[in-house]
Structure 1
Amino acid sequence: MSFIDEINHVNVLIIGASQGIGLGFVKKLLQDDRIAKIYATYRRLDSASDLVVLQDEYSRRLTCISLNITDELQIAEVLQQISNETNKLHLVINCVGLLHDGNIQPEKSLRQINSENLLRYFQVNSIGAILLAKHLLPLFRHDDKSVFANISAKLGSIGDNQLGGWYGYRASKAALNMFMRNVAIEYSRSCPKTTVVTLHPGTTDTRLSRPFQKNVSAEKLFSVERTVSQLLAVIEQLQDGDSGQFFSWDGSQLPW
């Protein structure tokens, strides 16, 4: 039985829900009668039109909140806002990720290394998640089972890296994995009912992956809907001993 089935009033937070996988999670979970309330964050309102439409349609169950994950003050304020409405979250999924943006592109060689771009990769892909973990703690201190999942990437696996390149993205996702391993250990003492995992979604047809899809075979390029269904299946099948682990979309465990 899924941990969600054991809870009467399931509260969910999706970070980075304006588009792509995050928006897909919101759409899927709104169709699930077991989910009582969804909080969904976006960085820029002008790119969150689909999310706003959903809020208009599901105003009682969906609350949309502006959040820049690199700003700790904003993280604290958003989680305080949620705390004013509820003292429990049961499922938190961080979908925020940076691969390319303007002059930030995956590096093919050392010649392309840029310290400002590297810092940006770590701010978005790694540091934001650990700041979330810090401020989520009070909302996970309850007796219901809960899950804190971060979307990572197989490219962040050191053991699996055979091709090199993509320095900033790989390293920042590897750092995310280490951060969440640490969080899992501390959470086991402070909120032991919470399972902390990182998840590899597979190559998904989103804006993040679009420039890099040409070498991906059709059967390995997932729709957002398929990715969301697969990841939710992994999340719902998590066991008590899985906290601190790194899972692929098919439920298999990935090497660090």
Structure 2
Amino acid sequence: MTTADWPRRAAVFGATGGIGAALCRALADRNVAVMAGSRSGECPRHQLITPFRFDLSDEDSIRTAARSMADEPPELVIVATGLLTLADGTGPERSYKALDPAAMAEAFAANAIGPALVAKHLLPLMPRQDRFVFAAISAKVGSISDNRMGGWHSYRASKAALNMLVKNFAIEMARTHEQSIVVALHPGTVDTQLSQPFQSNLPEGQLTPRREAAMNLLQVLLQLRPDDSGKLIAWDGAEIAP
């Protein structure tokens, strides 16, 4: 199977977010049947996009979603969820003095634990002999070696945890699935609700429209090979050191 006809089926967890919705549309435009998951059950409208409900904090809902895909498993799974600013408007910490255990727990639940639970229930569906990709949207700021500024403690730490989980899953899957690819993706700074509070300080040209970001990520996904498994890869295909 070539990249021209792969994937045939995909599942996107986080289909109402800016990147997730754009990925759903980009995949459907490639004639891919997309299972699009959100808490509300809403998703972009397209004849090839089928909605499903899940809650990242509710493992039973993720288990139920996985069971609904068992007969025809997706060949591409994307976890496009993420949390930077809390529901009450609390932004990322600028100093360790602002650390709050409840806020940290919320960030880890959304950015690391939730995606790990999706992996727990979707990876067992993957074929042993055929190519498949499990990708989680991460962030460059989750790279420990790239950290020059400090701050954003909970977000950085939770994304670093996600990157480690991806590496762990990649190692484990490679033992039984030779064509498996499990990666974390850095989409760049995308014009979404997540980045909106911080867009005013960005240099001109650094903010990427959602559709463009989705196409960038899709191009990366199509070119991945099994030896890329476990890596954090940027929107332009460059590997980011952990």
TM-score by length of 1: 0.89
Find 2:57's aligned residue among 54, 70, 76. 70
- Report the AA paired with residue 127 of structure 1: I
Find 2:26's aligned residue among 25, 28, 45. 28
- Report the AA paired with residue 113 of structure 1: L
Q: CA deviation at 1:144?
A: 2.0
What SS does structure 2 have at the residue aligned with 1:203? coil
Q: CA deviation at 1:3?
A: 4.8
- Report the AA paired with residue 20 of structure 1: G
What SS does structure 1 have at the residue aligned with 2:232? strand
Structure 2 residues without counterparts, runs of 5 or longer? none
Q: CA deviation at 1:218?
A: 2.5
Identity %: 38
What SS does structure 2 have at the residue aligned with 1:129? helix
Per-residue CA deviations over 1:50-105 (Å, capped at 9, x if unaligned) read x26x0xx41xx22101111121111111100121x41x321111100000121432
Q: For residues 223 and 166 of structure 2, what CA distance do their matches in structure 1 show?
A: 19
Q: CA deviation at 1:179?
A: 0.3
Within 5 Å, give how 1:177-196 maps onto structure 2.
177-196=163-182
Within 5 Å, give how 1:162-201 maps onto structure 2.
162-201=148-187
What SS does structure 2 have at the residue aligned with 1:212? helix
Contact 1:3–1:145 at 8 Å: present in 2 too?
A: no
- Aligned residue in 1 for 2:210: 224
Q: For residues 232 and 137 of structure 1, what CA distance do their matches in structure 2 show?
A: 20
Q: For residues 3 and 108 of structure 1, what CA distance do their matches in structure 2 show?
A: 46
Find 1:109's aligned residue among 90, 95, 107. 95
Q: For residues 68 and 190 of structure 1, what CA distance do their matches in structure 2 show?
A: 29
Within 5 Å, give how 1:115-154 maps onto structure 2.
115-154=101-140
The alignment's C-alpha RMSD in Å is 1.6
Contact 1:14–1:94 at 8 Å: present in 2 too?
A: yes
Q: For residues 219 and 103 of structure 1, what CA distance do their matches in structure 2 show?
A: 27
Q: State the aligned residue count.
A: 241
Q: For residues 176 and 58 of structure 2, what CA distance do their matches in structure 1 show?
A: 24
Structure 1 residues without counterparts, runs of 5 or longer? none
Contact 1:201–1:248 at 8 Å: present in 2 too?
A: yes
